[in-house]
Chain A
Amino acid sequence: MTRPHSSVSPRLTVVHNEFGDGRKIFGLVSKGWPAALSSLKSYLETGCGLQPSWDEEAAKRAAAEAQ
């Protein structure tokens, strides 16, 4: 697996806004993004993403696909 190098490490900024009255959505994405972006970084650096347990169905699907 290729190791990250300072010369090629990109910086990713995610801006998710204009929620209007959607405060519930704001709360949900505030929990979801850190998990998704952590998984993305793991995937790019190690070839293996993270699957948070709060999304059990997605984890089962991903596990089935991985087999």
Chain B
Amino acid sequence: MSKPSFVYVTYIRTTPEELWAALTDPRTIRRYWFGMSAESDFKAGSPWRLKLDDGRVADAGEILEADPPRRLVIRWRNEFRPELKAEGYSRCTMQIEMADYYPDFGGKAAKLTIRHEIEGEGGKFIEAVSGGWPKVLSNLKSLLETGDVAFKE
């Protein structure tokens, strides 16, 4: 039986470099991640935290791999919902690839693949991120393509 996982693929009209910057710059993250603050230098081995508006730590872990602008892997555990924290650490892989488009359609675009998986019985955690990622990534795509997000809350 395969372990619980979530996979989402989206194509964004931007460059891999700009997409990497948006995924690792705390000020940009705050704009599309519903006010969440990221704390990390996004280098392999560094700690990583996502904080709620009120300062509580929502998620925490460490950067396992950082290969700009292609691949970011985070060891990730929810910290503020006991039933999710109990499921332990997950692994989130963000993969950026070039997707070539025809010049008439704005030149190049980047393909972003988010894969979030957890060992054991992590069904509740994966269910939670399955609800969150589509909103976050929808906002990220809107922000990079239009300069504004789709959802404010």
Whether B80 is near chain A, meaning CB under 8 Å from some CB there, is no
In the assembled complex, the Cα of A45 lies from the Cα of B147 at a distance in Å of 11
Main SS of the interface on chain B? Answer: mixed
Interface of chain A, main secondary structure? helix
Residues on A with C-beta less than 8 A from B151 are 6, 9
Let me know if B152 and A49 touch, CB within 8 A: no
Known contacts: A1-B146, A3-B148, A50-B109. The answer to whether A35 contacts B11 by CB under 8 A is yes
Closest Cβ–Cβ distance, residue A25 to chain B (whole Å): 18
B145 at interface (Cβ–Cβ under 8 A)? yes
**Could you say which residues of chain A place their CB within 8 Å of the CB of B141?**
38, 41-42
Interface residue tally on B, bucketed by range: 20 to 34
- Cβ-closest chain A residue relative to B105: A51
B146/A52 in contact, CB under 8 A: no
**Hey, which chain A residues are within 8 Å of B145, CB to CB?**
42, 45-46
A51 contacts B102, C-beta separation under 8 Å: yes
Tell me the A7-53 residues at the B interface (CB within 8 Å).
9, 34-35, 38-39, 41-42, 45-46, 48-53
Query: What is B's interface to A at a CB cutoff of 8 Å?
Result: 8-13, 99-102, 104-106, 109, 138, 141-142, 145-146, 148-153
* A binding-site residues for B, Cβ under 8 Å: 1, 3-4, 6, 9, 34-35, 38-39, 41-42, 45-46, 48-53, 59, 62-63, 66-67
